[in-house]
Amino acid sequence: MKYETTYKLENFVLGTDWEDLPPAVRERIKGCFVDLTGALITGSRSDQFKVGLKMAQAVFGPGDIPVIGSDRTFSFVGAATAMGHASNAYDIDDGHNLIRAHPGTSVVGPILAAALEKDVRRNEFLTALLMGYETTIRSGAAIMDYYSNPHSSGTFAPAGIAAGVGRLYGFSKEQLNNCISIAEFNAPLVAGSRSVEYPSMNKDGVAFGAMIGALAVSEQLAGFTGNKNLLESEKYSYLLDDLGEHYQVMDLYFKPYACCRWAHPAIDACRMLMRENGLTAEDIASVRIETFLNATRLSKIVPGTADEAQYNIAYPVAAALVYGDFTLAQVHETAVPDPETVRMMEKLSFAEDPALTALFPAHRICRAVITTKSGAVYTSPDCEPRGEACENIGLPWLCEKFRRITAPVFTRQGQDSVLNMLCGDADLPVREIVAEINRPAYRIEL
């Protein structure tokens, strides 16, 4: 391929200030911070985060950078690694249909670690986070096409991490270009389809993507040289044509449930039928889920771990039928497997509807058919998952979600205080915000 270094991306990343951003974009990236903070708080209660803390301490050395959910401090790469293990632990974070992956959770750990290291204020961190999103999504689109395989979040993240952290580190455009090139070239090629079929902590490769992105920054500082990245190629340069005009962050979807997005419409369809017809779990004789092919391929095993519960369609749907929701209370390691949920799983069946498959991936649609013990049959309308980009999700929706998903582990007083810091007008130091999140008084033990 033909390449040309124009520094178009680098100039955008380094030259855009908070005040330059449209109000809707500023509100959206605040909302992303709310959503990602919720993911980090809940994720810090996971077994995966415990692994991240061990990795950070054993491999990447000491430092003075705090992390959400721990009283320990680490080096930059260590803090990035620890939070990279937490952010996607419960699969409750945002996504983007262009790359069918999770850009926010993949970049937030290292960019937040850099913001804490450099002691910047919230709005500068949010601007760097935005650059991480915009670079990750555009680079991800190029990578998806170049490799012609369905890679996932950890593959796309390193370029975005390089962009966001490079801004906070004060890189020149030449340094930033080199860092992005190092990060994208050495990114892990995460096999997204395998993570769906065989759930584990591997998931979308977020933890390794965060590590590689942070290490690419360290390599840049040490003098390592890369050369060219896909966004500089003639074939993919069009992905930068709308920089500063169309913000990809406005096309995100947000997830109400702690499981694969493909299971969400089935959960919503079942909850709708239960609510509108006054049904309880005891009323149900059987449930048939009619959906698109990829959703039917999700695991249906009785999970033994939180990861197996998330990359699953039968367990989340069954839990929602029993408990009316699927967040940390239903998916935490201590709650899996739940006997009532397992019994409900036995009543479920799944079938592909070719018409719904034809609409995927632009639309992920499902319907549910519930048959009661009395013989009544209720069929839902076609359901798409809530939180799609077309809904123009705003701060109220995201703050309500934050309260709902953190409620098992975070006090109401803590929620009020942290949301005020994340959403308010005050441009507070990021260290002050993280210290408030980590106040022991706000922590609820599971």
Q: Torsion angle of alpha carbons 227, 3, 210, 386, nearest 10°?
A: 180
Q: Six-digit token pair at 279?
A: 């049904």
Together in a domain, 68 and 122: yes
Kindly state the percentage of the chain with pLDDT values over 70.
99
**Which tens digit of pLDDT belongs to each residue from 26-65?**
999 999 999 999 999 999 999 999 999 999 999 998 999 9
Sheet containing strand 366-372, edge to edge, reads 348-352, 284-291, 366-372, 377-379
Together in a domain, 189 and 304: no
**Residue 143 lies inside a defined structural domain of this protein:** yes
**Which tens digit of pLDDT belongs to each residue from 231-274?**
999 999 999 999 999 999 999 999 999 998 899 999 999 999 99
| Cβ contact 367:379 at 8 Å | yes
The region that residue 76 occupies, defined by phi over 0 for left and psi between -120 and 50 for alpha, beta otherwise, is alpha
**Residue 322 lies inside a defined structural domain of this protein:** yes
Together in a domain, 330 and 191: no
Instruction: Please state, rounded to an integer, the average pLDDT across all residues of the chain.
Output: 95
Q: What pLDDT is stored for residue 182 in this prediction?
A: 98
Together in a domain, 199 and 295: no
Q: What pLDDT is stored for residue 323 in this prediction?
A: 96
Together in a domain, 181 and 198: yes
Together in a domain, 31 and 156: yes
Together in a domain, 243 and 312: no
Cα–Cα distance, 145 to 169 (Å, whole number): 31
- pLDDT tier for residue 381 given thresholds of 50, 70 and 90: very high
Q: What pLDDT is stored for residue 446 in this prediction?
A: 81
**Residue 427 lies inside a defined structural domain of this protein:** no
| Cβ contact 82:49 at 8 Å | yes
Q: What pLDDT is stored for residue 150 in this prediction?
A: 74
Q: What pLDDT is stored for residue 311 in this prediction?
A: 87
What's the CATH code of the domain at 310?
3.30.1330.120
149, pLDDT greater than 80: no
Averaged pLDDT for residues 422-443: 97
92, pLDDT greater than 80: yes
Residues in the chain: 446
For the chain, helix (H) and strand (E) counts, in that order, are 20, 8
Helix (H) or strand (E) holding 95: strand 95-96
**Which tens digit of pLDDT belongs to each residue from 195-233?**
666 777 778 899 999 999 999 999 999 999 998 999 999
Together in a domain, 239 and 347: no
Q: Total domain count for the chain?
A: 2
DSSP for 130-169 reads HHHHHHHHHHHHHHHHHHTS-B-HHHHHHHHHHHHHHHHT
Q: What pLDDT is stored for residue 1 in this prediction?
A: 84
Averaged pLDDT for residues 292-303: 92
- pLDDT tier for residue 421 given thresholds of 50, 70 and 90: very high
Together in a domain, 232 and 268: no
190, pLDDT greater than 80: yes
Together in a domain, 122 and 266: no
**Residue 443 lies inside a defined structural domain of this protein:** no
Together in a domain, 268 and 224: no
Report field, pTM of the whole predicted structure over 0.75:
yes
Closest by Cα among 409, 107, 387 to 257 = 387
Containing domain of residue 173, as a range? 8-253
- pLDDT tier for residue 176 given thresholds of 50, 70 and 90: very high
Least confident residue range of 75-79, 118-122, 134-138, 328-332: 328-332
**Residue 309 lies inside a defined structural domain of this protein:** yes
Backbone φ and ψ for 443, nearest 5 degrees, come out as -85, 130
| Cβ contact 144:258 at 8 Å | no
Cα–Cα distance, 92 to 259 (Å, whole number): 7
**Which tens digit of pLDDT belongs to each residue from 110-134?**
999 999 999 999 999 999 999 999 9
Together in a domain, 243 and 307: no
Cα–Cα distance, 112 to 29 (Å, whole number): 14
Q: What pLDDT is stored for residue 201 in this prediction?
A: 78
**Residue 429 lies inside a defined structural domain of this protein:** no
| Cβ contact 254:316 at 8 Å | no
